Chains A and B, each alone.
Chain A
């Protein structure tokens, strides 16, 4: 991608879907972009829900890693990673191969299903 500065995820950021859902993996001529962040500030960090525009549809997603450096001892990824999610919090895919930060386990109640399909943790 072209952007140089690494900020966290906000409106119009291109993201990378990391689960094995059909919607996330079929190629399309436009990359998936964030159109809204469900947060008081418009900036999404790890564990925030966002609205994604993929293949002409709107889908909610959960941020699992971003390029912006966070607090010390937490991992920083080389791409903005996102997992597609339903409105009630159920993930659409069945497997996540990319590593997920352990910080997400703090909110085990909301993200238990996403953490259950994750393979590697960092």
Chain B
């Protein structure tokens, strides 16, 4: 480069490149599937270790993607009684239950005005493909109240296209407040024991205050109910990652 008066300009080093460390970002966002975390109890940890080995073995052969309650999945299973021997179902995950190899998730959809729920086992060999069409979280861990919500909140197109998202963004939290059908509901969702944040309660104030009569504010301070899984999670995460890389 030459400046205006003809003399060579002082050496300008090139601008520093912005290094986006993708590897580190990916490792920072850790997701351990909830069925790896053993329940609190007095069983021998050897049992959970053996079960984890079997789960990792299955995961090496078949990819189980990361998903949360509230994401929309498409599952194809092998079915001897279906046309073409495969059965495809699309739905929103309303619950993830069970630990170890018996872990299940329930998908819900409304087809032709009929609500259908299917409880799939994650490690069942009949499942041929699990695809996440839309990865997102909701305000609650358990969306069973969708049974008593208006059907529009549970309808999803069977031929929905997967929603693209960038690799290492935060999982979006959908702060949708769902409107309910008129009471009676299958459970009294306004009660504090369910601790539901995703419903737009249109009940009168008196009913909401009456529901607070059943609140148990001492439960969150109960030390015998505490189950701190942070150390366990780190240990299991390291173990699972090492095994999966082999």
Do B118 and A73 touch across chains, with their CB atoms under 8 A apart? Answer: yes
The A interface, classified by DSSP as helix, strand, loop or mixed, is loop
Instruction: Tell me, in angstroms, the Cα distance from A105 to B87 when the chains sit together.
Output: 13
Do B114 and A77 touch across chains, with their CB atoms under 8 A apart? Answer: yes
Q: Which residues of B have CB within 8 Å of A73?
A: 77, 118-121, 124, 126
Instruction: Tell me, in angstroms, the Cα distance from A75 to B81 when the chains sit together.
Output: 14
Q: Which residues of A have CB within 8 Å of B118?
A: 73-76, 122
Sort chain B's interface into a size bin: 20 to 34
A64 to chain B, nearest CB (A): 10
Do A78 and B116 touch across chains, with their CB atoms under 8 A apart? Answer: yes
Residue of A nearest to B119 (CB): A72
Q: Which residues of B have CB within 8 Å of A76?
A: 116-119
Give per-residue flags for A67-89: 1 if the beta carbon is below 8 A from chain B beta carbons, else 0: 00100111111110100000000
A28: interface (CB < 8 Å): no
Q: Which residues of B have CB within 8 Å of A120?
A: 111-112
Residue of A nearest to B77 (CB): A73
Q: Which residues of A have CB within 8 Å of B115?
A: 77-79
A72 to chain B, nearest CB (A): 5
Residue of A nearest to B113 (CB): A98
Instruction: Tell me, in angstroms, the Cα distance from A101 to B103 when the chains sit together.
Output: 23
Residue of B nearest to A70 (CB): B119
Sort chain A's interface into a size bin: 20 to 34
Q: Which residues of B have CB within 8 Å of A121?
A: 82-83, 87
A29: interface (CB < 8 Å): no
B22 to chain A, nearest CB (A): 38
A113: interface (CB < 8 Å): no
Q: Which residues of B have CB within 8 Å of A38?
A: none
A7 to chain B, nearest CB (A): 13
Instruction: Tell me, in angstroms, the Cα distance from A41 to B89 when the chains sit together.
Output: 32
Do B81 and A98 touch across chains, with their CB atoms under 8 A apart? Answer: no
Which listed residue (A65, A72, A97) contacts B124, Cβ 8 A?
A: A72
A-B contact pairs, 8 of them (CB 8 A): A73-B118, A73-B120, A73-B121, A77-B117, A78-B147, A105-B81, A120-B111, A121-B82
Across the A-B interface, give the 10 residue pairs with the lowest CB-CB distance, nearest first: A78-B115, A105-B81, A102-B81, A98-B114, A76-B117, A102-B82, A75-B116, A75-B118, A99-B111, A72-B119
Additional pairs, 12, CB under 8 Å, beyond known A73-B124, A102-B79, A121-B83: A73-B77, A75-B116, A75-B117, A75-B118, A76-B117, A78-B116, A98-B112, A98-B114, A105-B82, A120-B111, A120-B112, A122-B111
Binding site for B on A (CB under 8 A): 2, 4, 18, 65, 69, 72-79, 81, 97-99, 102-106, 120-122
